[in-house]
Amino acid sequence: MEVILLVLCAILAYKAPHFFTLENLLNVLRAISLQGLIAFGMTMVIIVGEIDLSVGAVVAFTGCLMAYLTQAKVPIPLGFVLTLAAGTVLGAFTGLMRVRFQVPSFITTLALFTGLREGH
């Protein structure tokens, strides 16, 4: 797999002279930063033998919440803190259901996913 990636990079470097510029590399890193953060968190969840189906719905919900707060003229730093708090509360709730009531994480995160996706 690494060989294929190296071959693709070599081809792109040959065909597109600006491929290995600092500006392009920073654009690539910016484009994949959110997916990288999500992948890191999901890796930790999977390592401990659990599964989280609600990640996409929570990301969408918190993104919409931040947009709503920005439109409502809430200062951006405060909106950021409120959005992080909302995501933390949602994650803590599913964790509480898992630990306190022994509900499988598959079920708790599926319920949160469904509630966030259908709760309009």
Judge whether residue 95 has pLDDT over 90: yes
What residue has token string 């992080």?
84
Residues 66 and 115 in one domain: yes
Instruction: Find the domain containing 115 and state its range.
Output: 50-120
How many domains is the chain built from?
Answer: 2
- pLDDT digits over 26-85, tens only? 999 999 999 999 999 999 999 999 999 999 999 999 999 999 999 999 999 999 999 999
Angstrom distance (rounded) from CA 107 to CA 41: 19
List the alpha helices (DSSP H) in the chain: 2-15, 22-47, 55-71, 76-101, 105-118
Judge whether residue 120 has pLDDT over 70: no
Domain-embedded: residue 99: yes
Residues 63 and 8 in one domain: no
Question: And the tokens for 66?
Answer: 């931040």
Judge whether 42 and 52 are in contact, CB under 8 Å: yes
Report residue 119's pLDDT band, with 50, 70 and 90 as the boundaries: low
Q: What is the average per-residue pLDDT within 97-112?
A: 95
Residues 28 and 71 in one domain: no
Residues 57 and 98 in one domain: yes
Angstrom distance (rounded) from CA 91 to CA 58: 9
Percentage, residues of the chain above pLDDT 70: 98
